[in-house]
Amino acid sequence: MIIGIPKEIKESEYRVGMTPSGVQTLIQKGHSVYVQKTAGHGSGYSDNDYLKVGANVLKTIEEVYHVSELIIKVKEPLKKEYLLIKEGQIIYTFFHFASSKELTNAMIKSRSICIAYETVENNDKSLPLLTPMSEVAGRMAAQQGAKYLEKHQKGCGILLGGVPGVNPAKAVVIGGGVVGTQSAKMLAGLGADVTILDISIDRLRELDDIMPKNVKTKFSSHYNIIEAIRDAHLVVGAVLIPGAKAPNLISRDMLKELSSGTVLVDVAVDQGGCFETTKPTTHNSPTYIIDDVLHYSVANMPGAVPMTSTEALTNATIGYAIEIANKGWRKACLENEPLKKGLNIINGNIVHKAVADAFGLNYTELNL
């Protein structure tokens, strides 16, 4: 199969769809790989690194899309890319369709095969392609929260871990999945007083067993969320419903319960955000203030640490990429149930119900 790795064009996105190591593996399996010039620079890979493992380097994004049967990316195609996508072309990337009707309609119109990393799902409900980026984003949420609590960043001016004789900051993490767990772990390591909320009692039991003593668990309900955030300095939103829009768990009215300079970090922004006041921001302009509460909602948080993120993502995606390239998308999905769940749009039809439900669009039952 002919595989293309275009350069990411989203603002401040420095990741690339595949490392030279991953490209070499695909070439060793008998496939041809075309990488756009400078695509890997942001992640620390030169064009020569790709050439040395047998890839071809093309100058423009147009050339990469034109020649390729399978496109491997990191982020969803942007408007500039919509018309480059061909009918029947396989696009293997993060899509987060439920947060963008425009993108959904564009991919329907393209009649391409859209395989979304974020909805590939194992039998145990884990999300193998989303997990590494969730781990990165969860850990970054703690780092960014600590930074934006500083007074000159418009935060309230508290040190997460405090010092002897002075209380640490209070941090609330809503969601006990991969993002929430990693965030709570980092916040605890920095010495914060952490509360993590989740709707699963079983998950709370697990967290209670593995977390240090400065992490408390709480059942997630509207009442308990209000109680928890009332005296919080930092709140991390870490709730995910695979393929669907994230639920709004903190409304605009609830902001009045927060103190001036409280920081909200919404990691669920890619799926619409779990705070009503969330709007996507960029690494160049990451924050805004509503009702004296600082919001951080960068839509591609792991893009800020591309050397880590690109390698972690390739480690997860390469196995499925090999199956798609070796067998074709249809046979690969027939023989691999987790990969099959990654199919979101096929030849103009939405085949993932959560995506259709997000916008009230027609859903077509998947029939391979």
Residues with Cβ < 8 Å from 237, sequence gap 6 or more?
A: 174, 175, 246, 249, 250, 264, 265, 266, 267, 268, 273, 274, 275, 278
Contact assessment for residue 114 and residue 351, using Cβ atoms and an 8 Å cutoff: no
The single residue of 193, 233, 270, 352 carrying the catalytic annotation is 270
Amino acid at 328: G
DSSP state of 109: H
* Class of residue 188 by CB neighbours under 10 A (exposed 0-12, middle 13-18, buried 19+): buried
Determine whether 253 is an active site residue: no
Which residue matches tokens 């709707």?
A: 199
How many residues are there in the chain?
A: 368
DSSP state of 189: H
Please give the structure tokens belonging to residue 294.
């600082």
Amino acid at 142: A
The single residue of 96, 233, 295, 352 carrying the catalytic annotation is 96
CA distance 3 to 94: 17
CA distance 150 to 126: 35
CA distance 204 to 189: 19
Contact assessment for residue 361 and residue 344, using Cβ atoms and an 8 Å cutoff: no
Contact assessment for residue 297 and residue 238, using Cβ atoms and an 8 Å cutoff: no
Residues with Cβ < 8 Å from 123, sequence gap 6 or more?
A: 337, 338
Q: How far is CA 271 from CA 16, 40, 53, 244, in A?
A: 21, 26, 36, 7
Among the listed residues 55, 50, 14, the one whose alpha carbon sits nearest the alpha carbon of residue 307: 14
Determine whether 96 is an active site residue: yes
Contact assessment for residue 36 and residue 307, using Cβ atoms and an 8 Å cutoff: no
Q: Which residues are catalytic?
A: 96, 270
